[in-house]
Amino acid sequence: MISVAVIGRNEAGTLGATLESVLPYASEIVFVDTGSTDATPMIAAAYGARVSNFNWTDDFSAARNAALTQCTGRWVLTIDCDEVLIAGDAVKNFFESLEYDSSAIAFTVPIHNVLQNNRRDTHFDIRFFRKESGIYFCNPIHESVTPSINRLFPNVEFGTVPFSIDHYGYSSPEKNKKKLDRNHNILRKWTESEPDNPYAWYKLGLTLRSRAARHASACLFKSFELLVAREDRNSFAFRFDLVRTLLDSLKGSDKALERLIKSEAARAFP
């Protein structure tokens, strides 16, 4: 049984395409509305979703966990209102095979960001996972179930899926600016509440770079300093991307600092 979990607000223009794409595979659709003033909840209900309301608190994990608690399926698929599931003929057999698989825990899903001029970039995210009481979303933004899965199953190996997701949230300058502004506000609050969190500073630095804003390099360097000081630093998957992005942000402006970063990275991340 596959539960599809969706959260959203004022997504009437795109939600239908999202739900249409998952409908053939969903045993149930759980939709948590975070304050819509348009027809979003009615569209979700028209697709058979179980709709509930959630008071938005600038915390994506809180909203996603509210949806997760309502899922009754053995497996959960999460998708956003500006995304579409791209599936081939093998998907139904894949979902059916999981009913008899007691070893699988979670799967990475290719996410194709559709950019301006129809350009694309791809990353991978855990969007499909077994429903377990100890699996939940972490982080107020760039939320993920991965930390909770790693705590619950320390030696877990993530599987791959025969489907992907197309994401249209960055397909226009207006959408991109709106999303970056929102992300910046949440990330700023996150670094204030967790000043020793290297991942929060890393994501804030990336967002500032995307906005061509000042202090991006300073935030990335703060993340680097915090990370190399941790004994568990090599468990952070973003560490190499952090070093590359930090060095790229300096672009030869401070050769001494570049040498220091390279030296420290070689020592800390062998």
pLDDT band for 116, please (50, 70, 90 cuts).
confident
CA gap 4, 234 in Å, rounded: 33
Q: Where are the domains of the chain?
A: 2-167, 173-268
- Could you count the other beta carbons within 10 Å of the beta carbon of residue 18? 27
Q: Which CATH superfamily is domain 2-167 in?
A: Spore Coat Polysaccharide Biosynthesis Protein SpsA; Chain A (3.90.550.10)
pLDDT digits (tens, 9 = 90+) for 196-255: 999 999 999 999 998 777 789 999 999 999 999 999 998 888 999 999 999 999 887 778
Three-state SS at 120: strand
CB 41 within 8 A of CB 120: no
For position 245, what pLDDT does the model report? 94
CATH 2.60.40: does it fit domain 173-268? Answer: no
CA 165 → CA 24, 172, 214, 266, distances in Å?
15, 18, 33, 35
Least reliable range by pLDDT among 47-56, 94-103, 183-192: 94-103
pLDDT band for 25, please (50, 70, 90 cuts).
very high
Contacts for 189 with CB less than 8 Å, ≥ 6 apart: 58, 140
Q: Is the pLDDT of residue 1 over 80?
A: yes
- Could you count the other beta carbons within 10 Å of the beta carbon of residue 72? 12
Does the predicted model carry a pTM greater than 0.85? yes
Same fold, 2-167 and 173-268: no
Averaged confidence pLDDT in the chain: 92
